[in-house]
Structure 1
Amino acid sequence: MTAVFTPLYDRVLRWSGHPRAPWLLGALSFAESSFFPVPPDVMLAPMSLARPRRALWLATLTTVSSVLGGLLGYAIGVFGLELVLPLIVELGQIEAYEAAREWFAAWGFWVVLVAGFSPIPYKLFTIAAGAMAVPLLPFVLASLLGRGARFYLVASLVAWGGPRLEPWLRRYMERIGWACVVLLAAALVYTRLA
């Protein structure tokens, strides 16, 4: 079987040592919270591995960029929902978007806290928050806490594992990658059936 995730992991690990890698991480974190499908963990983890002493700084950069991107998603929900709703439908994410709206209606502020760990893409929560006029300050605070918890956890665990973790990650990257694909597919099936 051809390896898919290991070469990608190797490439990202090489990029993570580049002097401009933090800029790319910040841009990816910003974009993922409002419109881009790739989570920043794919860069944060290897960068924390390559620079364990800077892992917490990288987690901070990822969190702040993600929250700023979340504000763009919020603005899209407030001002441009009718423009992006057809795209959400076309991408097959309408059920996930509706689930995010239902969660906001039921739990409000607390949804944003857990959204960082949810199988539903975070960008759908940010757009739904804007569309439902969730108060901005609680949205920002919950985003900082929820997203920060996720990114600090990832960066800390990888930095703690350090160089001894790298061979293990590389050896199991295909299994980890395919497990993530299966989990994502299961989450999509669940949101369609729920």
Structure 2
Amino acid sequence: MDGNTIRRQIKSVILIPSQTIKKAYDWTIRWSKTKYAKVALFFLALSESSFFPIPPDVLLIAMTVADRYKWWIFALITTTGSVIGGIVGYYIGYTVYESVGKSIVDLYHLDKYFEFVQIRYEQNAFLAVFTAAFTPIPYKVFTIAGGLFQIPLPSLILGSILGRGGRFFIVALMIRIFGKKISDTLERYFDIFSLLFMALLIGGFILLKYL
């Protein structure tokens, strides 16, 4: 990935209005206050791995704040849904890329990364999936591209389990330890955290470039 590609990514992310992100965040948080919270968490994690834009971390945090002693259950639900969603994304790329997968990729303007992802897969498919699963890099790009480029499915599954599991269990454990302070801080400084997320997103692509 060259400097121009990274700059385009920064520009495309910055152009997303913070109000839009906040509305999506609030919509996701509302699910944590319903009796369907666990089901919503599972399907949010599943859909984010293949087509939905909102990461499941926000709902995972809200649910763990509400019941900190179930942190590992919520992390397990999120990991399971995300890995299954990754497999769904893989088969979208493998079987219906032209009719379905390409539309998803075009919707989020992710097509410019496919050559980059293909190179990473040729070097080390497992490491590429693990890095995308653990960091804010758009994981759905790697799941759909994994099917399109026909990487070994076990590499995608193992990389997803370790990457997504590591990420979600760390997030839930942090909430278990520090409690509502983290959630309150996130609400109070949402715009700052949005910018931090963008920086981590760009950093993840740069990191993957040099792995």
Q: TM-score, normalised by structure 2?
A: 0.77
Does residue 35 of structure 1 match 2:58? no
Residue equivalent to 1:65: 81
Residue equivalent to 1:139: 156
Residue equivalent to 2:117: 100
In 1, Cα distance between equivalents of 2:154 and 2:119: 20
Amino acid at match of 1:110: L
Alpha-carbon shift at residue 134 of structure 1 (Å): 1.6
Q: What SS class does the counterpart of residue 134 from structure 2 fall into?
A: coil
Amino acid at match of 1:81: Y
Q: Is the 8 A contact 2:125 2:155 kept in 1?
A: no
Q: Which moved more, 1:144-153 or 1:90-99?
A: 90-99
Residue equivalent to 1:163: 180
Task: Return 5+ residue gaps in structure 2 as ranges.
Answer: 1-17
Which of 67, 71, 92 is the aligned partner of 1:51?
A: 67
Alpha-carbon shift at residue 24 of structure 1 (Å): 0.6
The sequence identity of aligned pairs, in percent, is 35
Q: TM-score, normalised by structure 1?
A: 0.83
Q: Which runs of 4+ in 1 moved over 4 A?
A: 2-14, 181-191
Task: Return 5+ residue gaps in structure 1 as ranges.
Answer: none
Q: What SS class does the counterpart of residue 189 from structure 2 fall into?
A: helix
Cα gap change, 1:14 to 1:50, in 2 (>3 Å)? farther
Does residue 153 of structure 1 match 2:170? yes
Cα gap change, 1:35 to 1:13, in 2 (>3 Å)? closer
Q: Is the 8 A contact 1:12 1:46 kept in 2?
A: no
Cα gap change, 1:92 to 1:162, in 2 (>3 Å)? same
Q: Is the 8 A contact 1:6 1:170 kept in 2?
A: no
Residue equivalent to 2:95: 79
In 2, Cα distance between equivalents of 1:189 and 1:93: 16
Cα gap change, 1:143 to 1:159, in 2 (>3 Å)? same
Q: Is the 8 A contact 1:48 1:159 kept in 2?
A: yes
Which of 177, 180, 192 is the aligned partner of 2:197?
A: 180
In 1, Cα distance between equivalents of 2:47 and 2:179: 28
Aligned residues: 190
